[in-house]
Structure 1
C-alpha cells in the first residue's frame, strides 16, 4: 500500500521557511521514507528512520538559533557518539549513571524534561558549546569533550564521527534536497483498513506526514518488538511515523507518554496526537498501548490508527472504541 509522489512545496520547519525544497520520495520496498530520503548508508554507515530524523532535528535547531553550520557538525558527531542518534530512555542496568536522550545528558544535571526531549537537549548542548572560547576553530573532539566531560580515555572518540556529521549537515542544511513522505492516494476510503468515508488528511505539514506514514502501513501485521517496515508494534509505528515528519520520539510506550505537550482531552486533539490506553498489560497510570489520532470522518466522528495486538494488523479504529479508556494524550514537539 505504498504510493508516492514528488512535489515542490514551501515547507516551514522549526519556525524557518525552507523555500523551494523538493519533497522527494522513494518507492523502495526495502527503505523507509524519512526526511532525507529512505533509510540508507551515509559515509558507509547504515542509518535508519529514527537516526535520520534525529539528525535533521539537530540541524534544524542549530539553524533556528542562527548558529553557523559547524555547530551542527559538532552536535551531530556528539550525538552519534553518545546515543547513535537515538533518543534513548533510561536503560536500567545498562544505563550510564542517569544519562538519557540524544546527548546522554545527566538527569541530575539537566533534568529529565530537558535531557529526554530532543529539541531541549540539543538546545542545552548548544548553550554550553557556544560558551567555549574559539569553539568554531578548535578540534571538534576537543570542544565536544569539553561540553560532555566524558572519561579521559573517551575524549577523542567524537573525532571519528566528524565526516559523517559534516555529510549530514550538508544534507539537511537549507538549499539541499531533502525528502519527506507524501501520499499520492486519491480516494482514501477505498484503501480500506477502516479509513472512514469523507476522511481528509490534515493540512499541517508535519502532522500530515506522520499520519500519511501510519496510513501507508495499513494491513501490515502486528508483531511485538517489530520496527517495520513490514511489521509493527504499537509504539514502533508511532515512532517511525513521527520520524518521517522529522520529529524524534522514544521507542516504547512508557517513554512516549512523557514526551511533548499534554492535551487536556479528546475535544482538543489534533491529527498526529498520540492517544494512550492501558491495553492488555498496562494501567491508567502506566498505559501500555498507543495509537495516533488521524482526524474526523465525513460523519464528524474521530478516528485513530493503531497496531492493535498479536494476530491483528495496522488499522483505523473509531475513537469511540476507546471511550472511557484514555489515560493520556500527548502532542509531540513540532514546529509552530
Structure 2
C-alpha cells in the first residue's frame, strides 16, 4: 500500500509539473502572457500589481516617458498604455503575415497605409507613442471619455470595447511610471542579459525623455540624472529599473531608497540629494 501511495504522489506531481510547464508557455485568455518559470519578471505596484516580462515593462516605460516629454496629462498615459496592452501586449511586433490586421505593426499596431508613418518609423516605440499622443490630443473631450472610448477614437478598432479591460492595469502602470508612487517598479535580472554601456543608457534615456532628462551624464559605470522634484526623480528611477534586465543596471538610488539587482527589490539607503544615481554593469 505504501508503494502504491508513493507512486500515486509521484504521478500527481508529474501531472502538476506538466500542467505548470504548459501554462508557463501559454497565456491567460484575453490576458497577458504568463511569466515563463525562472525567467526575469518586472512588477509595477500601486494599489494593485501588474506583472510583465522585461521587454513589456521597458516598452511601457518608454510610452510613459514619451508622454512625460510631451507634458500630457496622466490620463493620456493610461489611455496609451491600455491601447498598447490590447493591441500588442506591449511588444513591438513586426509584420506577422496572416496574423496581422492588414499592415499593422508596432506597439499600437498602427498602419502605414493609413498614414501613421513608414513601417520603420512605426517600429520605433518612441515615434509610435508620440503619434498616438498627438492623435489623442486632437479628439475633443477625450479627457472625459472612458479609456476604451478615447482609445477607440484613435484606433478605430473592430472591437471598440476591448481596451476597457486593460484600464486597471494601465492605471497601475501609469501611477508608477509617472512617478506618483515611490519604489513602485521592481525587476529581476540575470547575468546573461544584454548589456548597454552607461553612455548607451544615457542616449536611450535622452531619446525617451528628451529635454526632461537634461543634464544626465555617464561617468565610468555610473549614471547620474538631476531631479528637480521627487516625482521627476521617481520617473527616472523607475525608468532605469525597467531597463535593468536589458541594460545591465545593477543599482538605482533616489531619495532614501535603493533598488538592487541582487535581490530585485527596493530598500533603505543613504539619501541622495536631487539626483538619481544608477550603477551599470560594464559591458563585455
TM-score (norm: length of structure 2)? 0.52
| Cα separation, 2, equivalents of 1:103 and 1:59 | 14
Is structure 2 residue 183 aligned with structure 1 residue 177?
A: yes
Select which of 198, 201, 207 maps to 1:206.
201
| Cα separation, 2, equivalents of 1:105 and 1:130 | 17
| Cα separation, 2, equivalents of 1:115 and 1:97 | 15
Cα offset, 1:66, TM superposition: 0.6
Q: Secondary structure of the residue that 1:177 maps to in structure 2? A: coil
Q: Which residue of 2 aligns with 1:93?
A: 98
Cα offset, 1:164, TM superposition: 0.4
Check conservation: 1:88, 1:101, Cα contact below 8 A.
yes
Q: Which residue of 2 aligns with 1:69?
A: 74
| Cα separation, 2, equivalents of 1:45 and 1:159 | 16
Select which of 106, 109, 117 maps to 1:104.
109
Cα offset, 1:95, TM superposition: 1.5
| Cα separation, 1, equivalents of 2:55 and 2:134 | 24
Check conservation: 1:73, 1:166, Cα contact below 8 A.
yes
Cα offset, 1:60, TM superposition: 0.7
Q: What 5-or-longer segments of structure 2 have no aligned partner? A: 1-36, 206-242, 251-280
Q: CA RMSD in A?
A: 3.8
1:49-75 Cα offsets, whole Å, 9 max, x none, are 111111111111111001110000000
| Cα separation, 1, equivalents of 2:152 and 2:129 | 15
| Cα separation, 1, equivalents of 2:142 and 2:246 | 36
Question: How many residues were matched structurally?
Answer: 172
After TM superposition, list the pairs within 5 Å mapping 1:171-320 onto structure 2: 171-175=176-180, 176-177=182-183, 202-204=197-199, 206=201, 241-242=246-247, 316=284
Cα offset, 1:39, TM superposition: 2.3
Relative to total residues, which structure has the larger helix share, 1 or 2? 2
Is structure 2 residue 34 aligned with structure 1 residue 39?
A: no
Residues 205 and 116 of structure 1, relative CA distance in 2, 3 Å threshold? closer
Check conservation: 1:83, 1:102, Cα contact below 8 A.
yes
Check conservation: 2:42, 2:187, Cα contact below 8 A.
no
After TM superposition, list the pairs within 5 Å mapping 1:137-156 onto structure 2: 137-151=144-158, 154-156=159-161
Q: What 5-or-longer segments of structure 1 have no aligned partner? A: 1-28, 33-37, 184-190, 194-200, 211-237, 246-293, 296-304, 306-315, 317-336
Q: Which residue of 1 aligns with 2:234?
A: none
Cα offset, 1:114, TM superposition: 2.4
